Protein backbone atom coordinates (compact mmCIF):
# COMPACT_ATOMS: atom_id res chain seq x y z
CA UNK A 1 0.00 0.00 0.00
CA UNK A 2 1.31 3.43 -0.93
CA UNK A 3 0.87 6.46 1.35
CA UNK A 4 -2.19 8.45 0.37
CA UNK A 5 -4.07 5.49 -1.16
CA UNK A 6 -7.42 4.31 0.14
CA UNK A 7 -7.32 0.88 1.81
CA UNK A 8 -9.66 -1.22 3.89
CA UNK A 9 -9.07 -0.61 7.57
CA UNK A 10 -7.52 -3.55 9.40
CA UNK A 11 -10.20 -2.99 12.07
CA UNK A 12 -13.04 -3.71 9.60
CA UNK A 13 -14.63 -7.16 9.68
CA UNK A 14 -13.24 -9.70 7.24
CA UNK A 15 -16.73 -10.87 6.26
CA UNK A 16 -19.64 -8.81 5.02
CA UNK A 17 -19.90 -5.29 3.73
CA UNK A 18 -19.51 -3.22 6.91
CA UNK A 19 -16.11 -1.86 5.94
CA UNK A 20 -14.31 1.37 6.55
CA UNK A 21 -11.61 2.65 4.22
CA UNK A 22 -8.71 4.80 5.35
CA UNK A 23 -6.31 7.08 3.51
CA UNK A 24 -3.39 8.05 5.72
CA UNK A 25 -1.21 11.08 4.96
CA UNK A 26 1.17 13.46 6.71
CA UNK A 27 -1.60 15.64 8.09
CA UNK A 28 -3.60 12.70 9.51
CA UNK A 29 -6.14 10.41 7.89
CA UNK A 30 -9.37 10.39 5.90
CA UNK A 31 -12.03 7.79 6.69
CA UNK A 32 -15.03 6.75 4.58
CA UNK A 33 -17.73 4.10 4.40
CA UNK A 34 -16.96 1.59 1.67
CA UNK A 35 -20.62 1.29 0.67
CA UNK A 36 -21.17 5.06 0.52
CA UNK A 37 -17.98 6.43 -1.00
CA UNK A 38 -19.89 9.13 -2.86
CA UNK A 39 -21.07 10.56 0.49
CA UNK A 40 -17.60 11.88 1.22
CA UNK A 41 -15.20 11.24 4.06
CA UNK A 42 -14.17 12.44 7.50
CA UNK A 43 -10.76 14.06 7.82
CA UNK A 44 -8.91 13.60 11.09
CA UNK A 45 -5.78 15.51 12.12
CA UNK A 46 -2.79 13.33 13.01
CA UNK A 47 -3.30 13.76 16.77
CA UNK A 48 -6.95 12.66 16.60
CA UNK A 49 -6.11 9.75 14.29
CA UNK A 50 -3.43 8.55 16.73
CA UNK A 51 -5.87 8.86 19.66
CA UNK A 52 -8.53 6.89 17.78
CA UNK A 53 -6.10 4.09 16.93
CA UNK A 54 -4.89 3.97 20.54
CA UNK A 55 -8.45 3.64 21.85
CA UNK A 56 -9.36 0.91 19.34
CA UNK A 57 -6.37 -1.23 20.26
CA UNK A 58 -7.09 -1.14 24.02
d(CA 5, CA 1): 7
More confident: 25 or 1:
25
Cβ–Cβ < 8 Å for 32, 43: no
Cβ–Cβ < 8 Å for 11, 19: no
Tens of pLDDT, residue by residue over 11-36, are: 666 666 678 889 999 999 999 988 88
Q: Is the pLDDT of residue 7 over 90?
A: no
Q: Is residue 55 part of a domain?
A: no
Cβ–Cβ < 8 Å for 56, 45: no
Q: Is residue 56 part of a domain?
A: no
The predicted pLDDT at position 25 comes to 92
Q: Alpha helix locations (H) across the chain?
A: 46-57
Domain membership of residue 38 as a residue range = 1-9+18-49
CA separation (Å) from 15 to 18, 36, 58? 8, 18, 22
> How many structural domains are present in the chain?
1
Q: Is residue 45 part of a domain?
A: yes
Q: How much of the chain, in percent, has pLDDT values that exceed 90?
A: 45
Q: Is residue 58 part of a domain?
A: no
The predicted pLDDT at position 19 comes to 83
Amino acid sequence: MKPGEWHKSSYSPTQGHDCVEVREHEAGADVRDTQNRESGHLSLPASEWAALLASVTR
